[in-house]
């Protein structure tokens, strides 16, 4: 994890500071507890970052624990992808990797302890009956008829549940708390249920019963010695149950602290909505570069440190929030500006012919790889009579502050020469400009005017015969509205222009690029090489993020 990441204070740090002041021997222990039932996204990154950074700043420990208590939803594929994503971010967890399923035996014993103490009972009500008996938000529930079973009968029944004697859904183990509590989580919550298929990804067919989240999470925290169990706001109502179980069991009692999960503008982060985008084919998969998943951001070329810096800067608080996606992009640009190699590439090319430049020669010019980092060195780029420039860099009838090319105006070709536009050739039918004719100032080699005249506009270009065609995928925000998350018909606001594919001409040095390498195409944006060769043998680049562009 990057040590240079800027940190502001937050209420969790305050709590930890106080706890440390009260107990000088305290070793801070946190954990990141994903359920292996999906891919990690930027919101998980925030949560992971909080847990990992809190441990690191306090010379503590952070575990990675998979919350794998429900085999109907979880599998090994997600365990692997989550580990990959965390490693990619550079977050290092305490070894070994933990699993809630590691504690199934202990959890089973804890449950028996509860039964023996009269704090839990086997209930034969159907799921529907349990729901009815639970009451409503405003009306108290009523006791299950099985609530006062003999302890010995409960023990026997629970053991038979474990042994697979009963059908799924026929019986559960519930705590005995308070059916009239204003907090529904305290109305005798279910702590064990029967699940026979599919088999668990780790414990296989050993268990026929599985603990619920409420029964597994706190106890797992306790077993591991977690001191601060940090989770999102929706678990606030579970905290009294978390505390109740730990007190009844008389075991180490971690402190649960809740914070507000991340929301990002112009995208969605709920698993269901993301899954819909995939299943309804709005995107090509979970790692489609438009998605907010870590796998997608990686493919998009986001540097991990930019994501970490972003997580550090969004802060930790309890109020609902929607972070402006431009803050994320800011951190991506900030990092890439320092690290990405520059190249010249023309995405929407139009041919430019320098009429007074000899057709039988070519020159090479030295280009700076990264003006922010002299150590990145230089490279050669070829120049010739016919080049490509960006269509948008020529305007026949310029309006406002247009510093680029127009008939009669002078402009600098970066690293090369100053040129002056003399004429354009249009397609007779479409009226589209097909050729721009210019003359160059032979004395301006390197782009400097010998007479000291100021040249305001500088264009990027590539030599027509030496450039390399490439496929460019340009991405935009996933949705057209700021908060699609709050809309039920959010798919209506999907941004149909979120992916645009173009063919570009790139300078030849790009040949030596490696997959995953970040580039800045000067004056355009940041790009990452996705695949060296597409079907037609040209490389494919994903746009990471555009350059900020204040052109009017």
Cα 507 to Cα 373, 383, 544, distances in angstroms: 21, 10, 19
Residue in 261, 391, 473, 483 annotated catalytic: 261
Q: Which residue among 159, 178, 236, 363 contacts RNA (CB under 7 A)?
A: 236
State the DSSP H helix or E strand holding residue 505, giving kind and residue range, or none if neither: strand 499-506
Find, among 230, 105, 201, 98, the residue nearest to 162 by Cα. Answer: 105
Q: Is 402 in the site for RNA (CB under 7 A)?
A: yes
Write each residue from 145 to 174 as x if it is in contact with RNA (CB under 7 A), else as -, in one continuous string: -----------------------xxxxx--
# chain residues binding RNA, by CB under 7 A:
92
Find, among 306, 465, 317, 302, the residue nearest to 381 by Cα. Answer: 465
Q: Which residue among 154, 175, 498, 520 contacts RNA (CB under 7 A)?
A: 520
What is the C-alpha separation between 90 and 41, in angstroms, rounded?
Answer: 15
Residue in 13, 20, 83, 271 annotated catalytic: 271
Find, among 421, 420, 411, 417, the residue nearest to 444 by Cα. Answer: 417
DSSP3 helix / strand / coil % (the chain, rounded to 5): 30, 25, 45
What is the C-alpha separation between 411 and 223, in angstroms, rounded?
Answer: 70
Q: Is 14 in the site for RNA (CB under 7 A)?
A: yes
Write each residue from 29 to 58 as x if it is in contact with RNA (CB under 7 A), else as -, in one continuous string: ----x-x-----------------------
What is the C-alpha separation between 383 and 380, in angstroms, rounded?
Answer: 10
Verify whether residue 168 is a known catalytic residue: no
Restricting to residues 449-478, name those near RNA by CB under 7 A. 457-458, 460
Verify whether residue 271 is a known catalytic residue: yes
Nearer to RNA, 174 or 298 (CB): 174
- Residues 63, 202 contacting (CB under 8 angstroms): no
Q: Is 7 in the site for RNA (CB under 7 A)?
A: no
What is the C-alpha separation between 463 and 469, in angstroms, rounded?
Answer: 12
Helix (H, G, I), strand (E, B) or coil at 8: coil
Write each residue from 407 to 436 as x if it is in contact with RNA (CB under 7 A), else as -, in one continuous string: -----x-xx---------------------
Phi, psi torsion values for 517, nearest 5 degrees: -75, 140
Verify whether residue 261 is a known catalytic residue: yes
Nearer to RNA, 181 or 439 (CB): 181
Q: Which residue among 185, 498, 538, 543 contacts RNA (CB under 7 A)?
A: 185
Nearer to RNA, 296 or 340 (CB): 340
Q: Is 184 in the site for RNA (CB under 7 A)?
A: yes
Nearer to RNA, 337 or 480 (CB): 337
- Stretch in the footprint of RNA (CB under 7 A) among 48-56, 78-86, 402-410, 428-436: 402-410
Q: Which residue among 320, 452, 501, 533 contacts RNA (CB under 7 A)?
A: 320
Q: Which residue among 20, 56, 106, 134 contacts RNA (CB under 7 A)?
A: 134
Write each residue from 64 to 103 as x if it is in contact with RNA (CB under 7 A), else as -, in one continuous string: ---x-xx-xx------------------------------
Write each residue from 275 to 314 as x if it is in contact with RNA (CB under 7 A), else as -, in one continuous string: --------------------------------------xx
Nearer to RNA, 161 or 288 (CB): 161
Residues 6 or more apart in contact with residue 288 via CB below 8 angstroms = 278, 296
Dihedral sign computed on CA atoms, order 524, 527, 533, 534: negative
Q: What torsion, rounded to 10 degrees, do the Cα atoms 364, 370, 375, 379 define?
A: -20
Sheet with 29-32, strands from edge to edge, namely: 29-32, 61-66, 94-99
- Residues 36, 69 contacting (CB under 8 angstroms): no
Nearer to RNA, 284 or 493 (CB): 493
Dihedral sign computed on CA atoms, order 472, 477, 480, 486: positive
What is the C-alpha separation between 524 and 82, in angstroms, rounded?
Answer: 33
Q: Which residue among 182, 198, 225, 374 contacts RNA (CB under 7 A)?
A: 182
Instruction: Look at the chain and count its residues.
Output: 552
- Stretch in the footprint of RNA (CB under 7 A) among 112-120, 153-161, 401-409, 496-504: 401-409
Nearer to RNA, 18 or 204 (CB): 18
Q: Is 488 in the site for RNA (CB under 7 A)?
A: no
Nearer to RNA, 457 or 508 (CB): 457
Closest distance of CB 134 from RNA, Å: 4
Q: Is 326 in the site for RNA (CB under 7 A)?
A: yes
Q: Which residue among 260, 376, 464, 468 contacts RNA (CB under 7 A)?
A: 260
What is the C-alpha separation between 288 and 293, in angstroms, rounded?
Answer: 9
* Catalytic site positions: 35, 261, 271
């Amino acid at each position: 994890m990057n040590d240079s990441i800027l940190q502001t204070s937050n209420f969790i740090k305050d709590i930890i500071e106080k706890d440390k002041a009260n107990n000088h021997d305290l070793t801070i222990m946190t954990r990141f507890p994903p359920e292996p039932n999906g891919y990690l996204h930027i919101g998980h990154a925030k949560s992971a970052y909080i847990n990992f950074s809190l441990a690191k700043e306090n010379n503590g420990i952070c575990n990675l624990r998979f919350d794998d208590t429900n085999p109907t939803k979880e599998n090994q594929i997600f365990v692997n992808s989550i580990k990959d994503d965390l490693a990619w971010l550079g977050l290092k967890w305490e070894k070994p990797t933990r699993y809630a399923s590691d504690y199934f035996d202990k959890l089973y014993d804890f449950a028996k302890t509860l039964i023996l103490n009269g704090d839990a009972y086997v209930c034969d009500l159907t799921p529907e009956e349990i729901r009815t008996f639970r009451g409503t938000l405003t009306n108290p529930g009523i006791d299950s008829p099985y609530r006062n079973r003999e302890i010995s009968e409960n023990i026997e029944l629970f053991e038979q549940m474990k042994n697979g004697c009963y059908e799924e859904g026929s019986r559960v183990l519930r705590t005995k708390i308070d059916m009239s509590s204003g907090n529904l989580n305290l109305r005798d919550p279910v702590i064990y249920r029967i699940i026979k298929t599919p088999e668990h990804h780790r414990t296989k067919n050993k268990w026929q019963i599985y603990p619920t989240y409420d029964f597994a999470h706190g106890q797992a925290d306790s077993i591991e010695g977690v001191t601060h169990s940090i989770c999102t706001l929706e678990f606030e109502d579970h905290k009294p149950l978390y505390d109740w179980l730990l007190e009844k069991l008389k075991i180490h009692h971690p402190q649960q602290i809740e914070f507000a999960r991340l929301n990002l503008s112009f995208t969605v982060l709920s698993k269901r909505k993301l899954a819909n985008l995939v299943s309804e084919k709005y995107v090509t998969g979970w790692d489609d570069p438009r998605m907010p998943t870590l796998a997608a951001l990686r493919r998009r070329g986001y540097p991990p440190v930019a994501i970490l810096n972003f997580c550090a800067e969004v802060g930790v608080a309890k109020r609902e929030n929607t972070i402006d996606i431009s803050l994320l992009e800011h951190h991506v640009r900030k990092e890439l500006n320092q690290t990405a190699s520059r190249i010249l590439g023309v995405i929407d090319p139009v041919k430019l012919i320098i009429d007074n430049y000899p057709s039988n020669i070519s020159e090479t010019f030295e280009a700076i790889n990264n003006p922010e980092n002299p150590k990145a060195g230089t490279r050669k780029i070829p120049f010739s009579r016919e080049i490509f420039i960006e269509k948008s860099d020529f305007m026949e009838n310029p309006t406002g502050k247009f510093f680029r090319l127009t008939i009669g105006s002078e402009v600098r070709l970066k690293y090369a020469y100053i040129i002056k536009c003399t004429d354009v050739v249009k397609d007779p039918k479409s009226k589209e400009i097909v050729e721009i004719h210019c003359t160059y100032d032979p004395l301006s080699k390197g782009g400097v005017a010998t007479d000291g005249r100021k040249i305001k506009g500088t264009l990027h270009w590539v030599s027509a015969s030496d450039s390399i065609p490439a496929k460019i995928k340009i991405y935009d925000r996933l949705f057209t509205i700021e908060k699609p998350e709050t809309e039920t018909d959010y798919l209506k606001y999907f941004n149909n222009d979120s992916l645009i594919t173009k063919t570009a001409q790139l300078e030849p040095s790009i040949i030596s690029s490696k997959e995953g390498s970040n580039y800045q195409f000067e004056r355009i944006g940041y790009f990452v090489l996705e695949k060296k060769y597409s079907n037609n043998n040209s490389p494919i680049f994903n746009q990471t993020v555009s350059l900020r562009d204040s052109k009017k």
